[in-house]
Structure 1
Amino acid sequence: MGYAKTAILMAAMTALFMGFGYLLAGTGGMLIALMVAAGMNVFTWWNSDKMVLSMHNARPVLTEDRLGLSKLVETLAGNADLPTPEIYLIETPQPNAFATGRNPRNAAVAVTSGLLQTLSREELAGVIAHELAHIKNHDTAIMTVTATFAGAITMLANFALFFGGRRDSAIGLVGTIALMILVPLAAGLVQMAISRTREYSADRVGAEICGQPLALASALQRIQRGAARIDNDTAERNPATAHMFIINPLHAYKRDKLFSTHPSTANRIAALQKLAEQSNRQRRSPAGSEIKRGPGTGPWG
């Protein structure tokens, strides 16, 4: 199912690309755009994960890292019945994380240095489990392809606005300019729809993988607070990748909530708390499974 959705998404983005080609140079431009999009589809499928990691200057974490991050990821991947993904570190004080890769056998999890400095071990396990859930659900291929195509469409739109579209088209210059604005907006809406629907599922599956829904809820709250006050300059320069992160790395609180790439953090926390309550009732030990918040800077600082 994940591959089918990815194929549909790539076809939709290709259609947007062809539409832009037509606006820029008529039928010939549309055919050129089709060839370019076909090449992008192939390149994106095999290399989009490397591109995204490179955008954020992520560096691989050694198997025997001193903090034990690789061991934690290996343990949680075993809980999820997944191959252990590659692990990357992004040097930024903003706490955040994302997963990427075209399938579970070719996946990577990237965490920021700010995340390691902010969360307790239980909270970090919840975040890693959330990212592993994206891999398990085959979300990473869709999210990474979306990021790559949305960035390309935005670049093409900027190019078209700078050089001008077909002034003699049936819709006229004003209509052409309007489409050059609306098509990237449509690509952005696709990103939002994908991220909003998949984050809840990844939270639920991630809570099952780590066995601590309240730890993940606590982590989300800490990350939200950090992302709201700490800039992630690399993410700001590459906004098309924002939907991949566990919490929006951009300062979305300054924007209309309609255009946020992520669902409300408060709603996600409430869903995890409800999940914890249900789990506690099933186990008949309500007090036994709650995770108390640590000071934030635990063994990962």
Structure 2
Amino acid sequence: MGRRTLAVLLGVVVLGGYLGVAYLLYRGLVFVVGGLDPITLLVALLVGTFVSGYLSYRFGTRGLLRSLDARPLGRDRAPRLHGRIDALCESMELDRPAVFVASLGAPNALAIGSSRRGALVLDVGLFELLSADELTGIVAHELAHIERDDGLVRTLVYASVQTALGVALIVAAPVILALTGLGYGLTLITGRRDNLALRLRAALGAAVGLVVFVLTALARARSRRREFAADDRAATITGDPLALARALRRIERASQPRIGPFRIPVEREESAVERVLSTHPATDERVERLAERANGHRIPVE
């Protein structure tokens, strides 16, 4: 009897504590946004999201270059590459980006910055791995990202996703706390571990998780479309889609695990969730599209 009474009293304390915190959060939320009409609040959220996203992108670009230990690639060190970059930028009517080299840990190339303040970072391994035409295809692909400000747009998209998730969590927090308090409190009071409040909390948590998954999947889907679009743009500018296809295949193989001097082919089927959450399409799909384009069958990409 003593233990049961203690459990009931503890249940009442837990229930009151959680409900009290939930109420304080609710009152705080009402105090912060209660005086704003929905349109004003939406505009404030949008402006704050885009401003913070832009500042993060602008200053994050410099920080990324420092973190990569990227070094400027002078024209005297790679005159042919610089000449090809000049020609590509002229064809694309694009301000010429700064060119850097870095040890990225794997053969890769990165487009950083916007169309007005762009930077191209090349892994040092690309110069030995790729032929001149293949390297030109990779460079054209990255320039296509700079041309369309894909990096900035991607940052703003992810900032918007984070804002939406933050708003959803803030709105749901008082309800989640209240349901948690009810669930735990009733468990202690009744001695039963399953009750409606805990089931509702689990359902609400699952709903929030589903929202996170859907918003992330939509952002990643856009990223994959932009990769296809950059492939198409590079193929158009260079007139050699097969060179880009060969470069993508070489990079994929060079990125495989190595034991001593031997590379170990890794053949693993991606799950549906991995494909949905991937930022890049499968190399096989990109190579196939480029090969079809070389044969005169252009697949449009929005």
TM-score between both structures, scaled by the size of structure 2: 0.61
Given residue 178 of structure 2, which amino acid in structure 1 is its aligned partner? D
Per-residue deviation, 1:44 = 2.0
Match of 2:50 among 19, 28, 41: 41
Per-residue deviation, 1:71 = 4.1
With over 3 angstroms needed to count, the CA separation of the structure-2 counterparts of 1:118 and 1:253, relative to structure 1, is: farther
Q: Secondary structure at the match of 1:111?
A: strand
Per-residue deviation, 1:94 = 0.8
TM-score between both structures, scaled by the size of structure 1: 0.61
Q: Which residue of 2 aligns with 1:276?
A: 294
8 Å CA contact retained: 1:52, 1:144: no
**Over alpha carbons, which structure has the higher Rg?**
2
- Note if 1:205 corresponds to 2:233: yes
Q: Which residue of 1 aligns with 2:118?
A: 107
With over 3 angstroms needed to count, the CA separation of the structure-2 counterparts of 1:55 and 1:101, relative to structure 1, is: closer
Q: Secondary structure at the match of 1:93?
A: coil
With over 3 angstroms needed to count, the CA separation of the structure-2 counterparts of 1:176 and 1:213, relative to structure 1, is: same
8 Å CA contact retained: 2:101, 2:121: yes
Q: Which residue of 2 aligns with 1:116?
A: 127
Q: Which residue of 1 aligns with 2:101?
A: 89
With over 3 angstroms needed to count, the CA separation of the structure-2 counterparts of 1:199 and 1:174, relative to structure 1, is: same
Q: Deviations over 1:169-215 (max 9, x none)?
A: 69943244324433432332122211222222211110122222111
Match of 2:247 among 209, 215, 219: 219
Per-residue deviation, 1:217 = 0.5
Per-residue deviation, 1:82 = 0.9
With over 3 angstroms needed to count, the CA separation of the structure-2 counterparts of 1:202 and 1:71, relative to structure 1, is: same
Distance 1:74 1:207 in 2: 17
With over 3 angstroms needed to count, the CA separation of the structure-2 counterparts of 1:165 and 1:210, relative to structure 1, is: farther
Match of 1:135 among 134, 146, 153: 146
Q: Deviations over 1:195-241 (max 9, x none)?
A: 222222211110122222111010111122234438xxxxxxxxxxx
Unaligned runs of 5+ in 2: 1-21, 34-40, 180-196, 259-266, 298-302
User: Hey, which bits of structure 1, 4+ residues long, moved more than 6 A?
Assistant: 32-37, 151-154
8 Å CA contact retained: 1:100, 1:144: no
Q: Deviations over 1:21-61 (max 9, x none)?
A: x9x95585596897677444213224415415634723252
Per-residue deviation, 1:153 = 8.0
Per-residue deviation, 1:148 = 5.3
Given residue 202 of structure 1, which amino acid in structure 2 is its aligned partner? A
Distance 1:224 1:97 in 2: 13
Within a 5 Å distance, the mapping from 1:224-235 to structure 2 comes to 224-229=252-257
With over 3 angstroms needed to count, the CA separation of the structure-2 counterparts of 1:268 and 1:183, relative to structure 1, is: same
User: How many percent of aligned residue pairs carry the same amino acid?
Assistant: 29
Distance 1:228 1:148 in 2: 32
Distance 1:51 1:134 in 2: 17
Unaligned runs of 5+ in 1: 1-21, 231-250, 280-301
Q: Deviations over 1:150-179 (max 9, x none)?
A: 67889x69x99xx99832269943244324
Q: Which residue of 2 aligns with 1:296?
A: none
